[in-house]
Structure 1
Amino acid sequence: MKIALATHLDYGYIQERDHHILQDLILQKISGNEIYILRDEDDNNIGFMRYGYFWDNTPFMNMIWIDEQYRRQGLGKQVILFWEEKMKEKGFQLVMTSTLANEEAQHFYRKIGYRDSGCLLLEDEPLEIILTKKIRS
């Protein structure tokens, strides 16, 4: 697997799969180098990871997507560790993400070192678990 910054050529692939962001913002995220694309050995897109900044100063992983046939092969973990290393290189000491309490992802994040740091409860929504990970000691 190869991990690279997404380009405008990846827009269609991301747009078809990411329904959690306004479509107009995808190109802004690509231009801002806030989306990593995962490619197989033949350079076919197989997933992506999108992030932003919580409080404008803490890297926050907003979305990770791996195409169905590539799931449960460790690719999600690889792209997260890759992203964490890039954030460390930029001088950050902490990264964040979140997941719904009724999703299995919370267990995945805990296995790779993320810790529960709080929650958010919005009306008519499941509990959102906020997770953080120190990437520098």
Structure 2
Amino acid sequence: MKIQFATASDYKYIVARDKHIVEALIRPKINEQEIFILRGDENQEIGWMRFGYFWDNTPFMNMLWLDEEYRGRGYGKQIVLHWEELMREKGFSVVMTSTQSNEEAQHFYRKLGYKDAGCLLQEADPLEIILTKSL
């Protein structure tokens, strides 16, 4: 598995799968190097990780996705650790993410050292758990 910043050639792959972002924001995030593409042995896209900045000063992982057939192989952990190292190199001491309370991802993040930091309750949605990790 390879981890690379997404490029314009990854746009169609991301648009077809990432339903949690306004399409008009994908190209700017690619240009700002805020989306990583995960590539398999055949150099094909197998997932992505997208991030931004909470309060414009704290790295926040917005989305981590692996295509179904590539889950459970440790690729998610690899991309999270890669991102954390990049954020550490940029001088950040804390990173954040979130997940809904009905999703298994909360356990994945806790195993990687993320701690519950609060929650957000929006009408008609499950509780959103906010998680942070000191780098």
Q: How does 1:46-61 map to 2 (within 5 A)?
A: 46-61=46-61
Q: CA RMSD in A?
A: 0.5
Instruction: Give the Cα–Cα distance (whole angstroms) in 1 for the partners of residues 99 and 43 of structure 2.
Output: 29
Corresponding residue of 1:97: 97
After TM superposition, the runs of 4+ consecutive aligned structure 1 residues lying more than 2 A away are none
Instruction: Give the Cα–Cα distance (whole angstroms) in 2 for the partners of residues 89 and 13 of structure 1.
Output: 29
Structure 2: gaps of 5 or more residues: none
Instruction: Give the Cα–Cα distance (whole angstroms) in 2 for the partners of residues 38 and 76 of structure 1.
Output: 9
How many angstroms does 1:125 deviate by?
Answer: 1.2
Instruction: Give the Cα–Cα distance (whole angstroms) in 1 for the partners of residues 31 and 24 of structure 2.
Output: 12
SS in 1 for 2:26: helix
Corresponding letter in the other structure for 1:81: L
Q: TM-score, normalised by structure 1?
A: 0.97
How many angstroms does 1:42 deviate by?
Answer: 1.6
Corresponding residue of 1:67: 67
SS in 2 for 1:117: strand
How many angstroms does 1:100 deviate by?
Answer: 0.3
Q: How does 1:1-137 map to 2 (within 5 A)?
A: 1-135=1-135
Deviation track 1:54-95 (CA, whole Å, cap 9, x = no partner) reads: 000000000011011100111000000000000000000000
Identity among equivalent positions (%) equals: 64
Instruction: Give the Cα–Cα distance (whole angstroms) in 2 for the partners of residues 41 and 124 of structure 1.
Output: 41
Deviation track 1:87-136 (CA, whole Å, cap 9, x = no partner) reads: 0000000000000001110011000100000000111111000000001x
How many angstroms does 1:40 deviate by?
Answer: 1.0
User: How many corresponding residue pairs?
Assistant: 135
Structure 1: gaps of 5 or more residues: none
SS in 1 for 2:41: coil
